[in-house]
Homo-oligomer: A and B are copies of this chain.
Amino acid sequence: MSHNSLGHLFRITTFGESHGPALGVVVDGCPPGLELTEAEIQGFLDKRRPGQSRFTTQRQEPDAVKILSGVFADSSGRQVTTGTPIALLIENTDQRSKDYGEIADKYRPGHADYAYDAKYGIRDYRGGGRSSARETAARVAAGAVARKVVAGVTIRGALVQMGPHKIDRARFDWAEVDRNPLFCPDAEAASRWADYLDGVRKSGSSIGAVIEVVAEGVPAGWGAPIYGKLDADLAAAFMSINAVKGVEIGAGFAAAALSGEDNADEMRAGADGKPLFLSNQAGGVLGGISTGQEIVARFAVKPTSSILTPRRTIDRSGQETEIVTKGRHDPCVGIRAVPVGEAMMAIVLADHFLRHRGQVG
């Protein structure tokens, strides 16, 4: 019941603070024989890396990953997993921890500062310490390994809402996601959102977002009743990402307003002997088990609370004060949550694939 681990047969354990020497993750349970190089993992880290556009924090971190264990050259010279734990290390380089006087003593509203102090009586306040979104770099690295385990599954994420602005579903195009720095699948929205976000950034404010993650190629049968449900594990995985306040599968909250007739995903005989579903309100999961349809999940990210507008707060001694959070922050943390969401989907699916194979063969 480790607090910093996720998964069962495929299990990640992360460690590290924002401004400590390093972040990392131990990936345990990865099957043997999968080719794995630092370069591949690095590709995913680069997608999440800060400082990539004017819309993300200007902290300069190479986020260079090192594989410390769990791989070896196979008989054909390829570097492959060996079945032993894969430790991945990312050293922190751009730490700038010189001046944290203000947040050392004052609680930033909307941040975990007060909660950590209330729980532990001490916290590493530099850059948010353990509560910093830098921890998600470790998730992305682990997600790269997880993708190898479920190699037949395509996992993609996109920003489908920024602040109050939603995409036009008719223009949804996965190819567009990689063409704009917002990971937006709607080219028109991407353009408008860029302007909108510039305004937010310049005013020192911030804004929330909704991310959609889709997994294609998951066969029917993964997941398990009742507390090992695929969607329950996805919900926990997404909710564990910094700043996430809501998770939904398929129709999600909109399902509350549907009639039974509209919600039922009717089935026809598919050409391949599998059912052909006529809709996907279920988001690919029924009874906690995959149906063979696309797994569709969304999660809502709140605006970062690090803003230039002064907010009322208290300090560690309980005295009332105000705080302005300067420093390098994302005006919309939801953007960089896209690759993190993909990683969490990959990690949960890898775990469920192995669990299914274990129980059912």
| Beta-carbon contact of A129 and B82 below 8 Å | yes
| B-facing residues in A195-239 (Cβ within 8 Å) | 200, 205-210, 220-229, 231-239
Q: Which residue of B lies closest to A1 (CB)?
A: B8
Interface 9-mer from A56-64, A167-175, A179-187, A311-319: A311-319
Q: Do A286 and B110 have beta carbons less than 8 Å apart?
A: yes
- A303, B259: Cβ atoms under 8 Å? yes
Name A29's contact: one of B281, B303, B359 (CB within 8 Å). B359
Which of A116, A123, A235, A289: most chain B Cβ within 10 A?
A: A235
Copies of this chain, tallied across the complex? 4
Chain A, 263-277, CB within 8 A of any chain B CB = 263-269, 273, 275
CA distance A208 to B257 in the complex (A): 6
**What chain B residues lie within 8 Å of A119 (beta carbons)?**
83, 220-224, 289, 356, 360
Across the interface, which residues of B come within 8 angstroms of A124, CB to CB? 72, 82, 84
Q: Are B357 and A110 in contact (CB under 8 A)?
A: no
Instruction: Tell whether, in the assembled complex, residue B247 and residue A248 are in contact, meaning their CB atoms are under 8 Å apart.
Output: yes
B130 engages A226 (CB within 8 Å)? yes
**What are 13 inter-chain pairs, A to B, with CB distance below 8 A?**
A3-B227, A16-B68, A20-B68, A32-B360, A72-B123, A110-B282, A111-B287, A115-B289, A231-B239, A232-B237, A235-B235, A246-B249, A273-B318
Q: Which of B21, B287, B313 contacts A66 (CB 8 A)?
A: B21
The answer to whether B164 and A257 touch across the interface, beta carbons within 8 angstroms, is yes
Determine the distance from Cα of A222 to Cα of B209 in the docked complex, in whole angstroms. Answer: 27
By a CB distance below 8 angstroms, the chain B residues around A264 are 109-110, 305, 307, 311
The 8 Å CB contact of A291, one of B86, B115, B122, is B115
- Cα distance A164–B255 in the bound complex, in angstroms: 10
Contact of A28 among B2, B32, B74, B281 (CB under 8 A): B2
Residue of chain B at shortest CB distance from A138: B226
Q: How far is the CA of A311 from the CA of B207 in the complex (A)?
A: 42
Interface string of A81-114 (1 = CB under 8 A from B): 0111111010000000000000000010111101
Q: A32 and B120: CB pair below 8 A? A: yes
How far is B313's CA from A124's CA once the two chains are assembled, in angstroms? 52
